[in-house]
Structure 1
């Protein structure tokens, strides 16, 4: 924050973001409550509230009941005019959701892709939605390594191709695009959903690895101390390229229809490696090609490679589609009201 003190326009965005953050957390607040919770001066809060109302980012709920003194005006986020649109593509379908600033899903649909043309199908959905909704940010989940508005994807170490879907959509519609790796989004979404069930857990202290098995490959989303781990080149979690003894990469082994015994042993080895490197509390496994019938054998076999007092809880994912959408919508919604990032993108 100190490095930004000499940049008024930047500080204005930061302060606006803090105000919207408080309104998101509390649902509504008065000018005095916003000043108290943000540390921003009363004069600055008053000026920013006026601008945010003009820009339709917040609305006034009117005056509070009198408690003997002057009645205070109460403000809240404008849920109708600040919508995020989130996509993820799976096989021949595009799944999307419209979400308000509080993260509530307004609309959730699945659309078939036209002749494997992802861009054209995305554009049709966006064009249709923009007729009725004021979209402030678009979140897109992809299978590959994210690089700004682009991503790289491939099954071999030497045949990765570049795709510019995020950059293309952002330039065409002049709407910010949040592009995220599918496994990162699924790991984040699972964590958010799981934390709602397990109220004793805290996101800031969460250590989790989500391993996903599909026909496109095997990968992982990693959360360490509440933060998504992307790595220097956003390559973290590309488990398919892990070399397994003399058998080649994990991807090749799983694609060659290994016996159940080999499958159990290989997956157990990968879990043991992740446990040594990340030391997660939970390892979640799921996906369409996971041999779920072998889960108990995998758990038992892991004991051969893990210290008896440092064994993560292994959980089967129940609904990866739900987790995927939850992760993408969360990232898009967070971006929408953040205005500016002071650090690298994080959860």
Structure 2
């Protein structure tokens, strides 16, 4: 996964994260089973379980039936005491959900806002959630911009220069002393789509997945890329910003072409060539296309036209996205749960963000 980036953390916090992760995977376990699963000594497991019991994050489920020796006690996560709060920022809306570590949604809301002062609005939501007594252990925010490598701020803008900066992740983490994962919204959308696809296939992880999720909105054309189960970020966190791909010899790029509302033939051909280019670079098994500004009625034409530019034995499957909000919520929830189980303040940095 690469090197770890974030606030200093102790081995105890990492071990607690491993125990939580093991309990999530196993469901119910004894101290011996947790020790075997995590590689942590039984003495340390016993000590850390006591802390988790005191904080009500883990509960006792009773003793095993006697097999002649001392009966072992079984433990499980207290799902209602290990909650994550996840946000999806999109234009004049903020979606947020509270969920447990099984991705079960406890609260799901969407608020309309008049300005783009996202930090102010998110602060109000967090304050209300905390006052309600919900045990929030981690916060995730999917943002429409390029997230900085330390995952604590992001940059946004529709042109190649003059981007603005927000330190929303740093501010919230410092104010509430709750670990925050900041993720690009399209990465979260792609990750969520992938998680749901893998769930349907009934496999354990994303390792088999190679896909790109192309998203069209009034903010631009972007994408989330997954290669061998890992999100792709690039050296400067800029991977996937398809709107800035140059087109033609007049300095025009894809985003300006889309904004010019081209005729159907030109639109279909541009997107078909885009898919063919992507196929040459990352060779995805799956291409997902969606977003409120995508011309959905041209999907079939784009799929058919793409075949002109792609060798017939390497044509990816092309799907129309059904629900990008749902995909983003699933993605940012899953990434926030991963943060909580890592025992680390910020997600690991082998994955530079886009």
Same fold by TM (over 0.5)? yes
Bin for the TM-score computed over the shorter chain: over 0.9
Q: Which residue of 2 aligns with 1:302?
A: 306
Residues 179-258 of structure 1: pairs in structure 2 closer than 5 A: 179-199=182-202, 203-246=206-249, 248-258=252-262
Deviations 1:32-68, CA, capped at 9 Å, x for gaps:
1112222222222222222222233322222122233
For 1:284 and 1:15, how far apart are their aligned partners in 2? Answer: 38
For 1:343 and 1:122, how far apart are their aligned partners in 2? Answer: 24
Q: SS where residue 119 of structure 1 aligns? A: helix
Q: 1:269 and 1:198, CA in 2 relative to 1: closer, same or farther beyond 3 A?
A: same
Q: SS where residue 14 of structure 1 aligns? A: helix
Q: SS where residue 48 of structure 1 aligns? A: helix
Deviation at 1:277, TM superposition (A): 0.6
Unaligned runs of 5+ residues in structure 1 are: none
For 1:160 and 1:45, how far apart are their aligned partners in 2? Answer: 48
For 1:202 and 1:120, how far apart are their aligned partners in 2? Answer: 36
Range with bigger deviation, 154-163 or 169-178: 169-178
TM (normalized to structure 2)?
0.91
Deviation at 1:115, TM superposition (A): 4.1
Q: Which residue of 2 aligns with 1:285?
A: 289
Q: Which residue of 2 aligns with 1:337?
A: 341
Deviation at 1:107, TM superposition (A): 1.0
Range with bigger deviation, 302-311 or 74-83: 74-83
For 1:345 and 1:325, how far apart are their aligned partners in 2? Answer: 23
For 1:345 and 1:189, how far apart are their aligned partners in 2? Answer: 20
Q: 1:115 and 1:161, CA in 2 relative to 1: closer, same or farther beyond 3 A?
A: closer
Q: SS where residue 203 of structure 1 aligns? A: coil
Q: SS where residue 137 of structure 2 aligns? A: strand
Q: Which residue of 2 aligns with 1:155?
A: 158
Q: SS where residue 48 of structure 2 aligns? A: helix
Contact residue 83 and residue 134 of structure 2 kept, 8 A: yes
Count of paired positions? 342
Unaligned runs of 5+ residues in structure 2 are: none
For 2:60 and 2:278, how far apart are their aligned partners in 1? Answer: 50
For 1:13 and 1:55, how far apart are their aligned partners in 2? Answer: 14
Range with bigger deviation, 9-18 or 260-269: 9-18
Deviation at 1:202, TM superposition (A): 5.4
Q: Which residue of 1 aligns with 2:317?
A: 313
Range with bigger deviation, 16-25 or 110-119: 110-119
Residues 1-347 of structure 1: pairs in structure 2 closer than 5 A: 10-131=10-131, 132-147=133-148, 148-199=151-202, 203-246=206-249, 248-340=252-344, 343-344=348-349
How much is the aligned-residue C-alpha RMSD, in angstroms?
A: 2.2
Q: 1:13 and 1:118, CA in 2 relative to 1: closer, same or farther beyond 3 A?
A: closer
Contact residue 95 and residue 110 of structure 1 kept, 8 A: yes
For 1:312 and 1:119, how far apart are their aligned partners in 2? Answer: 39
Deviation at 1:330, TM superposition (A): 0.7
Deviation at 1:136, TM superposition (A): 1.4
Deviations 1:132-186, CA, capped at 9 Å, x for gaps:
2121111111111001211001111112111112222222222221110010000
Deviation at 1:97, TM superposition (A): 0.4
Contact residue 31 and residue 74 of structure 2 kept, 8 A: yes
TM (normalized to structure 1)?
0.93
